[in-house]
Amino acid sequence: MSIYRFPIALLASLALAGALSAHAQGLRLSPRDTPAVPPGAQAVSQAADFIVAVVNSEPITNREVALEVQRVTQQALLQRQSLPSPDELSRQVLERMINERAQLHLARETGVRVEESSVDQAEQTVALQNQIGVAELERRLAADGIEKKTFRKQLRDQLTLQRLREREVEPRVQVGELELDQFLQTQQAQASQAATRQINLAQLLIAVPEDANQELVAQLLNKALQAQKRAKAGEDFATLVRELSDASDKANGGEFGLRNEDRVAQLFLDAAQSLPVGGISEVVRSGAGFHVLKLIERRSSSGLPPAVVTQSLARHILIKPNSQVSEAQAKERLLDFKRRIETGQSTFATLAREYSQDGSAAQGGDLGWASPGMFVPEFEAVMNRLAPGQISEPLISRFGVHLIQLLERRNTELSQAEQREMARRALRERKFEEAFVSWAREVRARAYVEMREPPQ
């Protein structure tokens, strides 16, 4: 098993840098949208500034807390989430900031470092998640009153915390065979008690106007059938949605998100009933028009792993930065490899055998069939965005710099051993959350924290 296959879904990952950064959720906008000045920005700028807490000699100011409260509030509004009272929200924000400052202090003391190239990669990931370029991302940040250096510092801090937590928390998480048996028995018992099933569908909608005549309806049906044909032929469904769908959810690939089946139209449930994960439905007619559906995920609320998963067959070339080769130089070397492969000067397998610094080199970089969760999040997120045959841009992970090629995807039924391994990862993830909370408390307890009253 390769070293970059990792059993825990981390709290923070490079692939989720957009979600973790202080402003990325607010940037999930249509390309036509232009961010306005956030509500309360003027009030924040006029807020009195004074020190509210000191963490290991580092101050936290009232204005910093107010800005973070403003960001959290704006994000909650965008996601239609409820918030506690203003006083409670401020208290929670300050507490989180104290914990993060204490952890960042520990990271600096113990030598955790994040190179500029890793911050560059995180910034590119945020831009990619929002379907814009880095220049447009920076323009939107500036329009929102956020300086580039501030945003990059937030990314750097999140990457630092991620690496610290990986190093400090992961060794605490162990899952024994007896514990795994008990976990499976509990989950199976819950599943047998008619647990609520959940489903995540993506839709491509070809809207039909209410007053459409038969000729127009036939044209639109043909358009839907062509879209379905392209999806079944292997074209990326999210790309087809953005190109063709008339639905308002096209920006996120048409996904509804995981929800209980009683919250999904029966018409859609019937169409998806016999689909495997990743399967494409027949064209479905509703009052809104013609729908093509893709089954993204199906599971019960018991938490048992699905019996059928989408597996990926990929290969990679890994270069590990060292005192002679920086991350930037490794990226340049891999970009040259990509150019040579795409122009036919060499093959991926040949370059992997010659240059990859990984156990898979002898197999031409072949990683074998992998189920979801088998790779570190930053690697898997990039791989999942590739179409079969496509080669990624160089990717920085905790193990080095990778060039990835996706060879094939398939839907497969898990063996009992594979389901057991997925259950083990689920249990480790649950235990990681518990271990992280305990560790964070320990870090906070060791830190010097002084709370200060506002000036009279």
| Structural domains of the chain, count | 3
Which range has the worst mean pLDDT, 96-105, 159-168, 244-253, 277-286?
244-253
418 belongs to a structural domain: no
Dihedral sign from CA coordinates of 323, 327, 332, 334: positive
Query: pLDDT tens, 91-129?
Result: 989 999 999 999 999 999 999 989 888 898 888 878 766
Based on the fold, state whether residues 205 and 254 are members of the same structural domain: yes
Neighbouring C-beta atoms of residue 66, cutoff 10 Å = 21
Over pLDDT 70: what percentage of the chain? 83
Domain that holds residue 72: 14-173+443-451
Based on the fold, state whether residues 36 and 149 are members of the same structural domain: yes
Based on the fold, state whether residues 262 and 340 are members of the same structural domain: no
User: What does the pLDDT average to over 177-200?
Assistant: 72
Based on the fold, state whether residues 28 and 156 are members of the same structural domain: yes
6 belongs to a structural domain: no
Based on the fold, state whether residues 222 and 358 are members of the same structural domain: no
- pLDDT computed for residue 301 by the predictor: 55
Based on the fold, state whether residues 67 and 166 are members of the same structural domain: yes
Which of 248, 269, 300 marks a domain boundary?
300
State the CATH number of the domain containing residue 255.
3.10.50.40
Based on the fold, state whether residues 28 and 145 are members of the same structural domain: yes
State the CATH number of the domain containing residue 66.
1.10.4030.10
Based on the fold, state whether residues 40 and 113 are members of the same structural domain: yes
424 belongs to a structural domain: no
Based on the fold, state whether residues 151 and 220 are members of the same structural domain: no
Based on the fold, state whether residues 389 and 286 are members of the same structural domain: no
Q: What value does the mean pLDDT of the chain take?
A: 81
Q: Which residues fall within 8 angstroms of residue 43, CB to CB, at 6 or more apart?
A: 66
Would the pLDDT of 322 be above 60? yes
pTM over 0.85: no
Would the pLDDT of 331 be above 70? yes
CA distance 234 to 388: 8
- pLDDT computed for residue 128 by the predictor: 67
Query: pLDDT tens, 390-425?
Result: 999 998 887 888 999 999 998 887 777 877 887 888
